[in-house]
Structure 1
């Protein structure tokens, strides 16, 4: 089933079982994001987080391009920056969803488009995809998270080169650096990302969300406190009905029936 959230924002949302597929559909603008689109992305992520039957999401762009970042024409015309009040720039980079989200990248993911990718948990890229932060070439800073998320994902010196030169990185190089999970033939990124999302969605949802939360939050935890701080997350999952169901399904040699509770 496909649901268009708001035709004016050019964001399409399709539900494929437990996976939500979000497509920025502004091909004439290279899928650059204006304020209405940022707000639509944010609301789609609110919907993802709020519905138990949805377990993961894929974010992609239409027309062979992922996203060219901020819509500068819209900014010049309206003076509005694409910053959602709750989820920040582009409707995602300030507060990504609690549930896993995969970027499916065809073509260019540059500027804010790359920062959107860096807000996702996993990345599937077509062979012809490119990733870059060209802001320094325009007299700007990559202020949507690129300056701290990219050095956290790849070696610092390589991140610094990409940031300070503004030169793009091809998909194959990003895979070598561990930034991209899969490189697939052009035109196949969405299908491969959905397949990966379906594997994630087949697992216990509370365990998946708890695992993502620990990975995200533990980066700031002192070494001596790691296990103590992890315990509330682990205990909540351990006490869940899904944990009991997982054990029962294993013993009974059947597929588990998750309830997200």
Structure 2
């Protein structure tokens, strides 16, 4: 895979995805979106990749979102970067078929589209100096890549509205207090902490984890009764898997299970 603006590598069942434009605070422009779309396709297709960790290069920005400088230099092409792409902004904000867990390791500013990327992930680990916000109204835009919908669903409505209508930033400590971040750590510990979370996830069956995420996410907009009724297809597939045999067997033999994802 020929990537210029994204670093992508896989080790020990973890896919590491790094926005690599530190000179632009890892802001994204159309070629970035195109690369990210292909990266997510690869992650979904690779059965040996069980968890993804998304971060930004450097120590200042996770992602400053849309590259406004590029937008200014290419008038009239604001939206062309995501048109026709499966996943929207960064290939992820409008993609709903990724049931493998995604961890955002937020190493600095996560603003606008950068915050929307983090909100689209399952777990957020933040460096102590990280800041979050949807400042689009301050530049005549709106957080249209899911931010205006995800944020009010993930934190109290009045806090979300206050953030969105003023464009103000919040600190990593605030993000933890409001329930956006799962953990806040010193920058030097950020990736190790994200890998710790990935390791704890991978102590579970990857198929069970994926079924759990799919059931949870698909059921969010349903009454509980309807969500419960839909789970049977997932259960049927999961319970026929090799991992469903391995789990109880390992428990009875008092050993760690050998998950295969099959």
Q: Provide TM-score, normalisation by structure 1.
A: 0.93
Residues 29 and 70 in structure 2, CA contact (< 8 A), matched pair in contact too: yes
Match of 2:40 in 1: 45
After alignment, is 87-96 or 170-179 more displaced? 87-96
- Is 1:151 aligned to residue 152 of structure 2? yes
Report deviation, 1:7: 4.3
Written as runs of structure 1 = structure 2, the 5 A alignment for 1:1-261 is: 5-8=1-4, 10-64=5-59, 65-78=61-74, 79=77, 81-83=80-82, 85-95=85-95, 97-261=98-262
CA distance in 1, matches of 2:187, 2:45: 33
RMSD: 1.4
Report deviation, 1:173: 0.8
3-state SS, counterpart of residue 176 of structure 1: helix
Q: Structure 2 stretches of 5 or more lacking a match?
A: none
3-state SS, counterpart of residue 99 of structure 1: coil
Q: Provide TM-score, normalisation by structure 2.
A: 0.93
After alignment, is 101-110 or 76-85 more displaced? 76-85
After alignment, is 246-255 or 22-31 more displaced? 246-255
CA distance in 2, matches of 1:36, 1:218: 34
Residues 13 and 23 in structure 1, CA contact (< 8 A), matched pair in contact too: yes
Residues 21 and 27 in structure 2, CA contact (< 8 A), matched pair in contact too: yes
Report deviation, 1:122: 0.2
CA distance in 2, matches of 1:16, 1:158: 38
3-state SS, counterpart of residue 62 of structure 2: coil
Residues 111 and 132 in structure 1, CA contact (< 8 A), matched pair in contact too: yes
3-state SS, counterpart of residue 65 of structure 2: coil
CA distance in 2, matches of 1:90, 1:130: 19
Report deviation, 1:252: 1.3
3-state SS, counterpart of residue 69 of structure 1: coil
Residues 11 and 23 in structure 1, CA contact (< 8 A), matched pair in contact too: yes
Q: Structure 1 stretches of 5 or more lacking a match?
A: none
3-state SS, counterpart of residue 90 of structure 1: helix
CA distance in 1, matches of 2:232, 2:3: 44
Report deviation, 1:95: 0.3
